[in-house]
Amino acid sequence: MRTILNIIWLIFSGLWMALGYVLAGIICFVLIVTIPFGIACFRIAGYALWPFGYRVTERHDAGLASGVGNVIWLVIAGIWLAIGHILAGISFCVTIIGIPFGIAHFKMVPVSLMPLGREIVPTAQAYPGYRWNTQGQYT
């Protein structure tokens, strides 16, 4: 099911959002100081291409530099990418079939606003205690 959702996502909005992140990343690579922002853009671009089955978690080892970097990021590119996710999320939520895609866009808003100090991990790794066994029963 995740694969089907990811393919539909890729066709209707994933490619365009990923291109927006790649463009922001290329712009961030112009200055040496903003290279960490560019790396974060490329990481989020991969997540924007194939979001179902992955989750954004906070890194607890991120320090003060991540917080300061997030404020700078918010001013430079974060607000524009977040607006793109909000508008796409609203437009997808207009139809019943598009609601899961709209929710996925809304889940990407926090990471587009503050990408530093975040990590994109598979859902099973984000919630290791929540597993289903081979018989389909919750353990």
Give the pTM: 0.75
3-state class of 3 per DSSP?
helix
| 113-139 tens-digit pLDDT | 888 888 888 876 655 555 555 555 555
| 33-57 tens-digit pLDDT | 888 888 888 988 988 888 888 888 8
Strand partners, 43: none
| Region for 37 from its dihedrals, namely left if φ exceeds 0, alpha if ψ lies in -120 to 50, beta otherwise | alpha
